[in-house]
Structure 1
Amino acid sequence: MTNWYAPARTDTATAVRAKARQAIADAAPASFWTDRPDRPAPRARLTGPRTADLVVIGGGFTGLWTAILAKQDNPAADVVLVEAERIAFGASGRNGGFVADSLTHGLSHGLSRWPTEMDSLVRLGRDNLAAIAETVQEFGIDAGLRLCGKTTVAVAPHQVAELAALADLHRAYGDDVTLLDAGQVRADVASPTYLAGVRLRGAGGLVDPARLAWGLARVAESLGVTIHEDTRVTGFDRSRAGVVVRTSGGPVSCRQVVIGTNAYPPPLRRLRHWILPVYDYVLVTEPLSDAQRTQLGWPEAQGLTDAGNQFHYYRLTDDNRILFGGYDAIYRFGNRVDPALDQLDTTHLLLAEHFAQTFPQLDGIRFTHRWGGVIDSTTRFTPIFGTTRDRRIAYAVGYTGLGVAASRFGAQVALDLLAGRDTDRTRLQMVRRRPVPFPPEPLRYPVVELTRRALAAADAHDGRRGPWLRLLDRFGVGFNS
């Protein structure tokens, strides 16, 4: 049996927990990315009725890319974006800032679901990432985008062979990948927990997600998009022209709508059958000293993830802090999404303990920020797409943690569907077919909890998947973040 974190003695565990509690004691309960003096001022809410050609619902990455692409496709179109809170309020301002070229939650998962389409999916994913980089450069978005790839590390013996297979798979698709043994991966990033690593270059990288969202909003407005914050959508009505979007600030009559609300309760109730809002939690340290950075290594400052079912993701920020998140993925009964759930002492404390084991040379470091937020997951870990109301309303939701880059692809698909375009994107099985829905409550919560425990048990038993996970695998469904 393998436990990722298991101090040998009770007194040791108590001491570790006490240090972890002290390390997070003064952390601000806010996302590091948006807790800044240069955060843009709030935009005006919608007041009174108006008309538009296209209404985009949601001011995260999906909504922002939709608005930009719609205006680039038709500069004369009147595009209005409405956001219930502020730009980058949701997952777009709370994630780890990892960007990936995968549209399928990784190559392995994509091959298991759409083997005959993987060449197209890989090509489209790479083109999508390249287009993001081109937009950032063209419009001068200062978001610290670096296509530095990432390293996946093994922290349990059974994961070493899994990483070797992963390296072979990436190599088969032409990626620049290196399989590292324990000595090599620890020479790159100094952690006693590492047993092997896969260094993947060029297939993704890192970005400041809030500054990317703020930059995209600025680009959208420069193209003529109108953005209203603090404007909540309450429903839809039919009209001769198309759709009336009811909002807290007044109705908007329009021809078409794109929904990009993701984990937040959608204005189309039917989407709740497929979307599971899962809470994820994050810590950020104080800036490292020069001596601490020297002890750590990490010369290329790439993103890191470990290879378990319950996995951590972590990275350096531009000012040499370490962002450390993941592991716990928590669903609340009834699809509950509530600001009160953004803080969870038990999980933040657990993350601090795991951080201490990962980097014991940073003993005594403190965390300045702690937060949580919801990820929009589906049973197949990739988005669902579709239209309703006679192709007046389109949606792209359910990115399962990989939406920073894939959201641009989702925006393209939604606009293709509204326009009735036959494209490489709309011909994909991933677009044409929906995943298995999650069961309704009161069954949904116990099924998710059973799956979470089964995944943890697999990690603790050398990766062996029990009967429940094997049953889910047979039907191509699961739980992830």
Structure 2
Amino acid sequence: MTTPSPSDDSRERLSHASPQAFWLSRGERPEPEPRLTQDTHCDLAVVGGGYTGLWTALLAKRRDPSQDVLVLEQATCGHAASGRNGGFCSPSLTHGLANGIERWPHEIELLQRLGAENFDAFQRDLDDFQIDCGFVRSGKVTVAATAWQSDALPAAVALAQQHGEKARLLNAGQLQEYVDSPLWQSGMFSPDYALLDPAQLVWGLRRACLEHGVRIAEHTEVTALDTQNPLRLHTPYGHVTAQRVALATNVYRPLLRRLSLSILPVYDYALVTAPLTDDQLASIGWQGSHGITDAGNQFHYLRKTDDNRILWGGYDAIYHYGSSRQEHLTQRPATFAKLAQQFSQTFPQLGEVPFTHAWGGIIDSSTRFSMFAGTAAHDRVAYALGFTGLGVGATRYGAEVMLDLLSGERTERLEPAMIRRRPVPFPPEPVRYLGVQATRASLAREDSHGRRNLWLRTLDRLGLGFDS
């Protein structure tokens, strides 16, 4: 897709957009739990109240209901990536099959099976814990906007089928049965893909935790971790002494110096339209409940909400010098205007539809585009990080991995190299910033003509990358 200059019209359609994530703007948002105001102790302290942390706490209580589990969240549960994402839930643990094959070709069958098993367990747990987050296996359509993207889709379908994934090639006519845009030439339908409501998932996990006896302290920032024996977590109003600690800090400071270069904070942005009429949806041929992504490096993701809005996000993946993690950077008017203009280019039938929400969030990207895990302090501290924007389903797997590591149990989940070995770290500044900018420019050039340049080929050989 070309990038037009944002017009006054696109900016006007954003003039009344709320800066809050659509999912978090509903009235059913729960009241926060009280902050920690005194010293306490627990069996397991979980740092971070997003998907990974809440899954860890909940599954820990299921493994041993007698243990005392405490979740420490610096703001409110789900305020960051867990409440701001697009609600796409993939069965992949490796940021997609192609990335998994490139990095772990000899283990891909195991990784595929573990991913599928985790995906099924994810859905069963939603039922068991009565978490109603609109989870539905509605499938995903990957669309091609250029000749070279279309040419690559048959091989992608064959690769998926070879490794046990269901996939079907869609020619131009068949694609119109899923969505109709003048930009998209062909597509691939992947049925084993789910959509859900991100905020309802995090609020449901939070409720289930509380019902099963997990203690949650919100507005409680952990400022330091003392790894002596016993473990001690420092907060502004009290200390927590813990037998074990699980770090589920996503993109935020991981509390272990060894991890400081392992993740990169990447800013991602999204818009949501006003509700569409049946006629408006019919004009773009989108009658199903499937999600859609395009096949570019700088890709868009889009889906419908329960009230027939369209969420439209992606494309810009912004890194700020020094790995800045600032809330004000989640508002980027230039990107919102660009996304609005691209939406009009994709769906000219909806050229007058306004946007009601425009927000951003931070993704914890790793050099291999997928999660990693490990331990510290003689296996009394565990961490799972680096989900790189495709981690809604994988967060549950990361939680199980941390609990396995902390228990000393050698399960099959711990066998893959993606768990046993940490990713190559990002370089320090200023090399990090210069490398990211060179990579972004190279990816944009590949999108424009379909060829990887020397820089990208070199990164491929080194096993390095930048992605959201």
Short-chain TM bin: over 0.9
Q: Distance in 1 between matches of 2:445 and 2:159?
A: 26
| Contact preservation (8 Å) 2:50, 2:81 | yes
Residue 43 of structure 1 deviates from its aligned partner by 1.0
Q: Give the 3-state SS of the residue equivalent to 1:313 in structure 2.
A: strand
Identical columns (%)? 50
Instruction: For residue 244 of structure 2, give the secondary structure of its aligned residue in structure 1.
Output: strand
1:76: how far off?
0.5
2:464 is aligned with 1:474? no
Aligned-partner Cα distance in 1 for 2:332–2:344:
19
1:42 maps to which residue? 32
> In the alignment, does 2:206 pair up with 1:217?
yes
Give 2:177's match in structure 1, choosing from 169, 187, 196: 187
Letter in 2 for 1:299: Q
Partners of 2:267 and 2:289 in 1: CA distance: 27
1:228 is matched with which residue: 202, 214, 217? Answer: 217
The answer to whether the aligner puts 1:385 opposite 2:382 as a matched pair is no
Cα distance in structure 2, aligned partners of 1:205 and 1:409: 16
Are 1:326 and 2:314 counterparts? yes
SS across alignment from 2:413: coil
Q: Kindly indicate whether the alpha-carbon contact (under 8 Å) linking 1:233 and 1:246 is maintained by their aligned counterparts in 2.
A: yes
1:176 aligns to what? 166
- The one-letter code of the counterpart of 2:211 is S
Which residue in 2 is equivalent to 1:95? 85
**Displacement of 1:336:** 0.4
Cα contact 1:23–1:367 (8 A) shared by 2? yes
Q: Which residue of 2 aligns with 1:445?
A: 433
Q: TM-score with structure 1 length normalisation?
A: 0.96
Q: Tell me what 2:410 maps to.
A: 422
Q: Deviations over 1:161-198 (max 9, x none)?
A: 21111111111123222100112112321111111100
Normalising by structure 2, we get a TM-score of: 0.98
**Contact 2:281/2:287 (8 A) holds in 1:** no
Q: CA deviation at 1:6?
A: 5.5
CA contact (8 A) 1:110 1:118 kept: yes
**Mapped pair 1:306 → 2:294:** yes
Distance 2:9 2:289 in 1: 26
| Worse overlay, 134-143 or 107-116 | 134-143
CA distance in 2, matches of 1:232, 1:333: 24
CA RMSD of aligned residues (A): 1.1
Q: State the distance in 2 between where 1:74 and 1:263 align.
A: 29
- Distance in 2, Cα, partners of 1:375 & 1:142: 25
Q: Structure 1 residues 90, 237: CA separation in 2 closer, same or farther (over 3 Å shift)?
A: same
User: Corresponding residue for 1:114?
Assistant: 104
For the residues of structure 2 that align with 1:435 and 1:23, how far apart are their CA atoms?
Answer: 42
Query: What residue identity is the alignment partner of 1:53?
Result: D
Cα distance between partner residues in 2 of 1:26 and 1:405: 33
Matched-pair contact (CA < 8 Å) for 2:228–2:377: no
Name the SS for the 2:94 alignment partner: coil
Partner of 2:396: 408
Distance 2:202 2:12 in 1: 33
Aligned length in residues: 468
Matches of 2:381 and 2:178, distance apart in 1: 49
Q: Do the aligned residues in 2 keep the contact of 1:29 with 1:343 (CA within 8 Å)?
A: yes
SS of the residue corresponding to residue 260 of structure 2 reads: helix
Secondary structure at the counterpart of residue 118 of structure 2: helix
Structure 2, unmatched stretches of 5+, are: none
Residue by residue over 1:396-436, the C-alpha shift from the partner in whole angstroms, topping out at 9 and shown as x without a partner, is 00000111110000111111111122111111111111111
Q: Structure 1: any 5+ residue segments left out of the alignment?
A: 8-12
Distance in 2, Cα, partners of 1:138 & 1:80: 22
Native 8 Å contact 1:186 1:194 kept in 2: no
Q: What one-letter code is carried by the residue in structure 1 that aligns with 2:2?
A: Y
In 1, Cα distance between the equivalents of 2:132 and 2:12?
A: 35
1:105 aligns with 2:95: yes
1:5 correspondence with 2:25:
no
Following superposition, the deviation at residue 115 of structure 1 comes to 1.1
Given that residues 129 and 204 in structure 1 are in contact (C-alpha distance below 8 angstroms), is that contact kept between their aligned partners in structure 2?
no
- Counterpart of 1:153 in structure 2: which amino acid? V
